[in-house]
A = this chain, B = another copy of it.
Amino acid sequence: MQEKAGKRSATTMARRKHIVESAALCFIEQGFHQTSVRDIAKQANISLGGLYNHFENKTALIAEIAALEAEDLSGVVKTLTGNAPPQKRMQRFINAYFKAASGKANAIMTAEIMAESMRNPDIAKGYAVNRQALVDALLPVVEILHPGTPPEPRAQLILDMIEGAGIRVAFEDTKTRKAARTALLDWILP
Chain B positions within 8 Å of A115 at CB level: 31, 111-112, 114-115
The complex is assembled from copies of this chain, and their number is 2
Known: A149-B186, A179-B150. A118 touches B108 (CB 8 A): yes
Which of B30, B163, B187 interacts with A149 by CB under 8 Å? B187
In the complex formed, the residue of B with least CB distance to A155 is B183
Q: How many residues of A contact B (CB 8 A)?
A: 34
Which residues of A approach B to under 8 Å, CB–CB?
30-31, 33-34, 107-108, 111-112, 114-115, 117-119, 149-150, 153-154, 156-157, 159-161, 163-165, 167-168, 179-180, 182-184, 186-187
Q: B33, A149: Cβ atoms under 8 Å? A: no
Q: A179, B161: Cβ atoms under 8 Å? A: no
Chain B positions within 8 Å of A179 at CB level: 150, 153
Chain B positions within 8 Å of A117 at CB level: 111
Tell me the interface secondary structure of chain A in the complex.
helix
In the complex formed, the residue of B with least CB distance to A30 is B119
Q: B167, A114: Cβ atoms under 8 Å? A: yes
Chain B positions within 8 Å of A112 at CB level: 115, 118
Closest Cβ of chain B to A32, distance in Å, is 8
Q: B164, A160: Cβ atoms under 8 Å? A: yes
Which of B118, B157, B180 interacts with A156 by CB under 8 Å? B180
